[in-house]
Amino acid sequence: MRLPDFDFRPGNVDRRLAALRSRPLNFDPDTLGGAGWEHDDYRQPLPAEQPGPPEPGGSWETAVALSRSYAFADPSLVEARYDPEVPLEQREMLLILHALGARIYAGVRVSDAGTETRVEEGREAQVFFWNYRTLEGHVEAGQRDFEVWKWLESGDVEFRTHALSHPADTSPIVRLGFRLLGHHKQVEFGRRACTRMALLTEANLAQPDGGTSVEAFDGRLLAIYLRDHHALLVALASLARRTHPDGAPTFGDELARAADDDRACLERFLARLDSAPSRARHAGAWTAERVGRLKLNGRLLRRSPLSPVTEIEGCCLLLESSRALWSTLAQLAVGPSDAAERAERAERLRASAERLRLDAAYRAVRQRDRRAGALAAGDR
């Protein structure tokens, strides 16, 4: 019985990977699917193609390349290390599982891979498939399959992953930990693998080379970036609702509607990343905007002529942040298809806000000059 290999710091990956070559499976493959095995099955539609064989550089080929490189795995849950020079069919992989702040090093071995034509419910599909099986020292025992399907008659493309697992024969403490967390992590891995595969396929197809070179992204860092900007959109909507400059009384309403629309769009995209807005960031942005209202701007009992200037300046800064968000997503080809249009809207609103800001500043300063002129006339 081999105990799991875990650490709280990055370890010697090359040594651990090399040690997998002589390590046996931790289960009997002939028992797969029998009593006591947990089944998990997930499917994800991908961008469709024209009917017929897979298109060069199309959705199916892009998803196959992503599948081969294990790019669909969320690095916040599991990372994979392997020798890229070794063919997929002969590959050992060192999986680095992240749980409760620890790194658990688990070995797997690819047992089958290839491309074939299959018939399911009378429909013919071209299928790329591969799977791996767990080695001694893994916290679980079993097999996980990955498949990319293209239905030849309709052109639909689909990603599938299926797992058969149960706790590995190891220490009672590890078995208990797996029973408490293991299946939850299996479900989370399968769900995120599907959403990441869809996003990655779409993003790579949107690149100028049309998916010829395949790239992945760090979904965890992207989610952090999006949550930060979501909080800024919360502040923008709140500030816009009290910004009604002279000469453009409906500008604040238009800006608030745009901020709410951007925020809703960002929330939908975060959901695709299996994430959600940060309540702490949301509360911080909301609080900061309201604390900003305490600035007196030279008046104690009534609204200052300078207040519209500071409010619109705040809107200008937040609109620039919004423009940066959407232009970044458009450049990365990740996120909503109308990201470029949203960036243009933010830039258009920022230009309008800049004109209103200058006008408000002029009004505030000239108002003071007029009052001084009236006093001087009275002295004469």
> Can 5-205 and 219-379 be said to share one CATH topology?
no
Q: Inform me whether the pLDDT recorded for 33 exceeds 80.
A: yes
Looking at domain 219-379, which of 3.40.50, 1.10.760, 1.20.1260, 1.10.10 is its CATH number?
A: 1.20.1260
What pTM, to 2 d.p., does this model score? 0.74
Distance CA 46, CA 197 (A): 8
Domain limits of the chain? 5-205, 219-379
Buried b (16+ CB within 10 A) or exposed e, 128-156: bbbbbbbbbbbbbbbbbbbbbbbbbeebb
Q: Inform me whether the pLDDT recorded for 27 exceeds 60.
A: yes
Q: Compute the average pLDDT of residues 51-56.
A: 96
Predicted confidence band at 151 (pLDDT cuts at 50, 70, 90)? Answer: very high
Predicted confidence band at 182 (pLDDT cuts at 50, 70, 90)? Answer: low
Q: Does domain 5-205 have CATH number 3.40.50.880?
A: no
Q: Note the pLDDT tens digit of each residue in 323-369.
A: 999 999 998 888 888 999 999 999 999 999 999 999 988 888 875 55
Residues contacting residue 244 through CB under 8 Å, at least 6 positions apart? 250, 251, 252
* Residue, of 305 and 254, whose pLDDT is higher: 254
Q: Compute the average pLDDT of residues 123-149.
A: 95
Distance CA 216, CA 107 (A): 23
Distance CA 118, CA 355 (A): 63
Q: Compute the average pLDDT of residues 285-307.
A: 66
Q: Inform me whether the pLDDT recorded for 210 exceeds 60.
A: no
Joined together, the tokens standing for residue 145 give 């399959």
Q: Compute the average pLDDT of residues 51-57.
A: 95
Identity at 127, one-letter amino acid code: V
> What is the DSSP pairing of strand 5-7 with strand 102-120?
antiparallel
